[in-house]
Amino acid sequence: MLIFNHFKFRSLKLALSVLFVFLSELVLFKFLPQNLDFESFTVFLLVNTTLYLSHMDVFKFSIPVSALRLILFFALVYNFLILLNRIDKTTILSSNVASNLIASIFMYLLFRIVIILTDRKGIGEGDADLFGLLGFFFGFSASLSILVYSNIIGLIVAIFLIIFLKIKQKSSV
């Protein structure tokens, strides 16, 4: 049986986290337009902040409120600009404020129900806040896609850790 001590496991998590951030930054810079408008800047900031939050959540099991406030600020500005017709309708982010608000409330309540049902094991208040804010940016259908893809990625990482690192299924990843 292969036994990893705490330091080696945390070093592996750090290496995987740095590799993931590096690859995502490469993809972002490849597709980021040369003239950076507000929407592109918002998407860039949202992706980087979400990567930071996932890193903090993996290592500290906590999501900083200051980063959530930053996402909330840009979500409010973005949705206000939609109302003023300053944002182009052909966008990555959702351009329907009502859909964004409904998605935000739905995602937050969905995660609150999961928190209550699981007795706060694995999912906390910060996760509910984060997915509520992502719903406010992306709208209803994209929020559900984000939820599905994040679960698939989490499942793949968990299977990798269980098979190759002989981590117990009951341990937190």
Using alpha carbons only, what angle is made at residue 152 by residues 67 and 68, rounded to the nearest 5 degrees? 10
- DSSP for 106-166, please give it: HHHHHHHHHHHHHTTSS--HHHHHHHHHHHHHHHHHHHHHHHHHHHHHHHHHHHHHHHHS-
Provide the whole-model pTM. Answer: 0.66
C-alpha to C-alpha distance for 85 and 18, rounded to whole angstroms: 38
Give 127-157 pLDDT, tens digit per residue: 888 888 888 888 888 888 888 888 888 788 7
Euclidean distance between CA atoms 123 and 139, whole angstroms: 22
Q: What helix, strand, coil percent values describe the chain, rounded to 5?
A: 75, 0, 25
Per residue in 104-113, pLDDT (tens digit) is 889 889 988 9
pLDDT at position 6: 42
Residue 51 CA to residue 18 CA, distance in Å, equals 10
